[in-house]
Amino acid sequence: MANQFDAVIIGSGINSLVSGAMLAKKGWRVAVIERNDRLGGAIATRTDIFPGYTVELLSSWHPLFIGGPAYAELAGDLIRLGVEYLNTEDPTGVVCDAGSAILSTNAARNEAQFRELGDLDAWNAVMSDFGGRAELAFGLLGTDFWRPGAAKFGWKAWRKLGRRGLLASGAELLEPAAPWVDRTFQSPVTKALLAPWALHNGLGPDDAASAFITKVIAAAISMGGMPIPVGGGVKLVEALCTVIAEAGGELVTNAEAVSIEVVGGKAKSVKTAAGDTYFARKAILASVTPQALYLNLLDPAIVPAQFSAAALSFRYGRAGMQIHLAMSEPPNWTTPGMEKVALVHVLDSMDSLSESVNAANRGFLPRRPTIVVGQPVAIDPSRAPVGAGLLWIQLQEVPSEIRGDLAGEIDHTGSWTTDVRDRYADRVISQLKKHISNIDSQVTAKKVLGPADLAQLDVNLVGGDPYAGDCRVDQYAVWRPLSLANGHNTGIKGLWHIGASTHPGPGLGAGSGYLVAKRLLD
């Protein structure tokens, strides 16, 4: 029979490709079917946006992948296939009303920075305390809660922390970032340096568990930097695809999955919109949203009512935006040293951060948004012509539907339009002018992606949500993707759910793809 495979994987994001590569290396014949005309999901590297420039339209930075188990598993093949990572001593910084700071991978530089801010003792205490439990913190995010190994992890935590320590850690896990930074640090610059990192996991500083996420990311960046692959994320995509193809697998684009056939309680095949059928002897992995899986791909008659109800109640979070600027020269920061930093957060203060997140959650355009300014050329000069500059700008406090504008400048309600998208992008760029003096004079081309554009590029980014689902605590960890706490197991034999909508959530870490592949191979 044609189109017979051991595993059929729906979607080609990093979770799909990592799981496919891991299975292929163990002799499985894998088919990856992708609805778009390109592979990679949220890794969307383009060289045709600005001639001579390599632009990451969506995801760009790979610290979670390099520091995670998936890279450790596949590093030999990736290196063999030419994937080369570059890093920096200046992974992140902040420019705010109270001043500026850089978080470095150099401990001596961090010591000098935090001493100047008056927060050295507090920083050392946080890193010492967190460092002593880092294995547990990172292990929590990478644990498959639905396997026997999870009990071993719990026992390890019990032995290390004791009963009272474990209970106290539980409370600590749920603390929001805002009260934590206010209690721990005295400098408003330190607070503005650390707190915005909760945004990169879909949280705000007032959300439960955002302090824990902030600590995890701060520790990861200060230890591991901000690595990116030479030539763009497409190099990682191509290498993972090669691993699959070398083992006899197939990678099919322009193939939209429309149904999963279940026979005798077991997932048997995937049918595409073109009428092709891909048969799976062992497993089907679906990197889709819960609603796409349980309400669309599966026959409603075979989906238990509680699964349908849980999928229907799955929430999507705030939307995102991307602004890409090609410059004829490197950005000229008015704050010395920022030109070398991979990712700079530009904001007024902790107050503006909270205001913007809450505004977006309630449907309003923020007045003074937190602006994430990425500078890939600071790490990988090949991303732009010699002597030129490139800015990768991300906004994470954007309403998916607009109820109003806190600044009172944009009179629009409802869905995003191209005009509103561009006017809001102009506000953001205007707010950067006092920090980057040549952002007006030296910008040669601009590409703006609003919420509707993000959703069109990747069907999993519903409403422009870059994290494929609200990441607040009731939709995280054991409750991601469904409140049923079923994890990646769909309840249908041979059918597994992976992707950013599932545990351990979004980000280029490939966590769910890795966990499911390990389960299938053990």
Which residues make Cβ contacts (< 8 Å) with residue 269, sequence separation at least 6? 8, 260, 261, 277, 278, 279, 280, 284
Query: For position 153, what pLDDT does the model report?
Result: 41
Q: What percentage of the chain carries pLDDT values higher than 70? A: 92
Mean pLDDT of the 104-110 span: 96
Q: Which H or E run contains 398? A: strand 389-398
Q: Residue 12: which residues within 8 A CB-CB, separation 6 or more?
A: 32, 33, 34, 36, 39, 40, 41, 237, 251, 253, 287
Range with lowest mean pLDDT among 25-39, 117-131, 392-406: 117-131
**Which pLDDT band, with edges at 50, 70 and 90, does 213 fall under?**
confident
Between CA 469 and CA 239 the distance in angstroms is 28
* Average pLDDT across the chain, whole number: 92
pLDDT tops 70 at residue 505: yes
Give the 3-state secondary structure percentages of the chain, helix then strand then coil, rounded to 5.
40, 20, 40
**Numbered ranges of CATH 3.50.50.60 in the chain:** 4-43+62-85+231-313+470-521
Q: Helix, strand, or coil here: 486? A: coil
pLDDT tens for residues 267-292?
A: 999 999 999 999 999 999 999 999 99
User: What pLDDT is stored for residue 167 in this prediction?
Assistant: 42
For 327-346, what is the mean pLDDT?
A: 98
Query: Where residue 154 falls among pLDDT bands split at 50, 70, 90?
Result: very low
- What pLDDT shows up at residue 146? 63
Query: At CA 290, angle to CA 285 and CA 292, rounded to 5?
Result: 80
**What is the per-residue pLDDT across 302-327, written as a single tens digit (0 to 9) for each?**
999 999 999 999 999 999 999 999 99
> What is the average pLDDT across 439-444?
95
Closest Cα to residue 218, out of 294, 306, 116, 138?
138
Give percent of the chain with pLDDT exceeding 90: 85
Confidence at residue 217, expressed as pLDDT on a 0 to 100 scale: 87
3-state secondary structure of 292: helix
454-483 pLDDT per residue, tens = 999 999 999 999 999 999 999 998 899 999
Residue 504's pLDDT is what?
92
Amino acid at 31: A
Give dist(CA 209, CA 172) in Å, integer. Answer: 8
Summarised one tens digit per residue, pLDDT across range 159-176 is 444 444 444 455 678 899
Indicate if the pLDDT at residue 369 is higher than 80.
Answer: yes
What are the helix (H) ranges across 54-106?
A: 63-66, 69-80
Question: Does residue 134 have a pLDDT over 50?
Answer: yes
For the residues 325-335, what does the mean pLDDT come to?
98
375 pLDDT above the threshold of 70 = yes
Question: Is residue 86 classed exposed, middle or buried when 0-12, 13-18 and 19+ CB atoms within 10 A define those classes?
Answer: middle
pLDDT for position 128: 84
**The pLDDT of residue 132 is above 70:** no
Average pLDDT, integer, range 376-392: 98
pLDDT at 147 over 70: no
> Regarding predicted confidence, which is higher, 130 or 515?
515
Q: Is the model's pLDDT at 72 over the cut of 50?
A: yes
Q: If you count them, how many residues does the chain have?
A: 522
Chain centre distance of CA 218 = 15
4-43+62-85+231-313+470-521, CATH topology level? FAD/NAD(P)-binding domain (3.50.50)
Q: Is pLDDT at 180 greater than 60 in this prediction?
A: yes
pTM of the full structure: 0.93
Strands (E), 132-256: 228-229, 250-252
Q: Lowest-pLDDT range, 125-134, 140-149, 159-168, 378-387?
A: 159-168
Average pLDDT rounded to a whole number, residues 125-134: 73
